[in-house]
Amino acid sequence: MLRAAAIENPRLEARLLLAHAMSSSTEALLRDPRAPVPPEAIRRFRAALGQRLARLPMARILGEACFWTLELEVGPETLIPRADSETLIEAALASGITPRRILDLGTGTGCLLLAALSEFPAAWGLGLDLRPDAAALAARNAARNGLAGRAAFAAGDWASALNGRFDLILSNPPYIESAVIPGLMPEVAEHEPPSALDGGPDGLDAYRRIIRDLPRLLAPGGLAVLELGEGQGPAVSALADEQGLPVAGLKADLGGIDRALILKFSEKPVGGAARCV
């Protein structure tokens, strides 16, 4: 049924659904493929199979997703974390920075902030999301991963009400052009929150808001790492240049696509003020 619905990796997905229905793991199923399936598990399996055939994302059915080294709760109020976004954490680690204060703009599940906190044990972080229910979910994920004492979450319209400076700023903003969204795969177009996808007519609306605030939010020597959509490097780099923030680097994901835009704030004043280099 999954194969007929043109769902990729149907055998793996069927195994994941069955393991979920049995409150087990795929490893356990492989170790004992003849283990009996209780009637209640069969009922749960059929219900989950129906959801997947309706193109509900697997992570939503399971209620969780893996990101970096973390297990995260997911829900309809947040974008499902994707492996491509791990490129931002790799870029931050490769920079050699040792941040004490981290900001995650558009935090969603909290995946970027929590992954960064897991790698920088001396850091404290703040995650902002437009939706209060998303900020609450991110807070639950912090507690789930033992990071609640070093993370705070709040609802806000990007950084408009935020004061203070941060050593590391991360963001995976909405960057898909509005007209493109209806043609995306159903798991995305029909089940991901529109506010986490829609970047406006040219896909750059959120970048304009974020980049405008970076000079007042970055501490001297600080780093900003922004996720990019495919082919958006030049356009977002140009927006940064308009604010006097030249690009320090780009990092590609495993598919070879430039996924992370890196801006580093200079510690040395230039023309009387610090600037990004």
The per-residue DSSP string of 109-141 comes to TSHHHHHHHHH-TT-EEEEEES-HHHHHHHHHH
Q: 154-211 pLDDT, tens per residue?
A: 999 998 888 889 999 999 999 999 999 999 999 999 999 999 999 999 999 999 999 9
- The side-by-side arrangement of strands in the sheet containing 218-227 is 151-155, 124-129, 101-105, 166-171, 218-227, 258-264, 249-252
Checking if the pLDDT of 274 tops 60, the result is no
Q: 75-126 pLDDT, tens per residue?
A: 999 999 999 999 999 999 999 999 999 999 999 999 999 999 999 999 999 9
Rg value, the chain, Cα = 20
User: For residue 1, what are its two tokens?
Assistant: 């049924």
Q: 207-225 pLDDT, tens per residue?
A: 999 999 999 999 998 999 9
Tokens 């994920």 belong to which residue? 141
8-state DSSP, 180: G
Q: For residues 19 and 245, which has the higher predicted lDDT (pLDDT)?
A: 19
Q: d(Cα 225, Cα 211) in Å, to the nearest integer?
A: 11
Domains within the chain, CATH numbers bracketed: 10-54 (no CATH), 75-264 (3.40.50.150)
Between vectors from CA 146 to CA 145 and to CA 149, what angle results, nearest 5°? 130
Q: How confident is the model at residue 160, as a pLDDT?
A: 85
Positive or negative CA dihedral for 158, 160, 161, 163? positive
Tell me what the mean pLDDT of segment 230-252 comes to: 92
Checking if the pLDDT of 251 tops 90, the result is yes
The mean pLDDT value of the chain amounts to 92
State the pLDDT confidence band at 271, using cuts at 50, 70 and 90.
very low
User: For residue 173, what are its two tokens?
Assistant: 């903003």
pLDDT over 70 percentage in the chain: 96
| Helix locations, the chain, DSSP H | 10-21, 26-31, 39-53, 58-62, 86-94, 111-119, 132-144, 186-189, 205-217, 233-242
Provide the phi-psi class of 108: left if phi over 0, else alpha when psi is between -120 and 50, else beta. left
Residue 231 burial (CB count, 10 A): 10
Q: How confident is the model at residue 270, as a pLDDT?
A: 37
User: Is the distance from CB of 124 to CB of 263 less than 8 angstroms?
Assistant: no
Q: d(Cα 178, Cα 175) in Å, to the nearest integer?
A: 9
Strand 249-252 and strand 258-264: pairing?
antiparallel
